[in-house]
Amino acid sequence: MAGAPSGSWLDGTELVRQGAEARIFRTEYLGRSALIKERFSKGYRHPELDRRIRHRRTLAEVRAITKCRKQGLDAPVIFHVDFKRYAIVMEEIKGLTVRDTLFKLESQPDDTQAAKLMKHIGTSTAKFHNCGMIHGDLTTSNFIVRDSGELVMIDFGLSFISKDIEDLAVDLYVLERAFLSTHPRSEELFKKVLNAYHATCRVASKVLNKLNDDELVDERETWWDSAATGTTLRYAYSCATSIPSQRTYVVRHVHDTYTYGHEGHEQRVIVAEKQKQK
């Protein structure tokens, strides 16, 4: 793939991919294979708002990764953080995403490996929640299976601290939607995730009850349908949006705009703070 623009501080790096808010470059750091995650500016945002959002998400990602590693969860090693450029230099994880791993396992008649992987996902998510952390963008693309077999959680830019049961439940709901929209036999796979989550999370019963709560389901589905049409939304607190064949996003910011682009098609969703029920 192409590298960074000529004259850039990223000269000599290789662009691996570009998402909605960040570019990932491959490089070498002190003799080790590394990735640079740079959050780029959005021209449609007010400059000061843009700066604050990029700084907040960079800081949130660094804090979440640090907390993960302190709690014994596998996460990328951070080599360097540049807050002026909103960039993180981190370990390059060698392996496949869970999404790609599951596609690879579909051809195998024995589902033992898939079941083991689902258990790891449920356990890792529960341990993360036990730390008082919400990931904010749990999808099968945000877990990587190392070549050595360990499961690594990645992409913490939308993470935040919370022990609220609804926040925990919505985190699981985002993951559930990722399974439903991407993987065959997703219902059976996700049951295994929830079983492992229940065995590890300290408040699992409350979270799973909330996940199945009719009122929460109605609220989430209203958000989902509205977001898919690109309308202006009133309910934007810790809710999931999805465009077919694309990533799943969590929006938790007031007066922010997200652009979804895929093969020349874009949608822009302007969100506002969720009104509290009286």
Question: How far apart are the C-alpha atoms of 129 and 137, rounded to whole Å?
Answer: 13
Please report the sign of the dihedral spanned by the C-alpha atoms of residue 234, residue 167, residue 228, residue 143.
Answer: positive
What angle do helix axes 165-182 and 204-211 make, rounded to 10 degrees?
Answer: 60
Distance CA 258, CA 45 (A): 10
- Pair 57, 39: CB distance under 8 Å: yes
Helix (H, G, I), strand (E, B) or coil at 90: strand
Task: Identify whether 137 is a catalytic site residue.
Answer: yes
Task: State the catalytic residue, choosing from 50, 137, 167, 171.
Answer: 137
- Neighbour-count burial of 207, counting CB atoms closer than 10 A to its CB (0-12 exposed, 13-18 middle, 19+ buried): buried
Per-residue HEC secondary structure of 198-230 comes to HHHCCCHHHHHHHHCCHHHHHHHHHHHHHHHCC
Which residue reads 């492992």 in tokens? 196
Please count the other Cβ atoms lying within 10 Å of the Cβ belonging to residue 49.
14
SS3 21: coil
Please give the sequence-ordered ranges of beta strands (E in DSSP) within the chain, or none if there are none: 14-18, 22-29, 32-39, 78-82, 87-91, 95-97, 133-134, 143-146, 151-153, 160-161, 239-242, 248-251, 256-262, 265-271
Positions annotated as catalytic residues are: 137
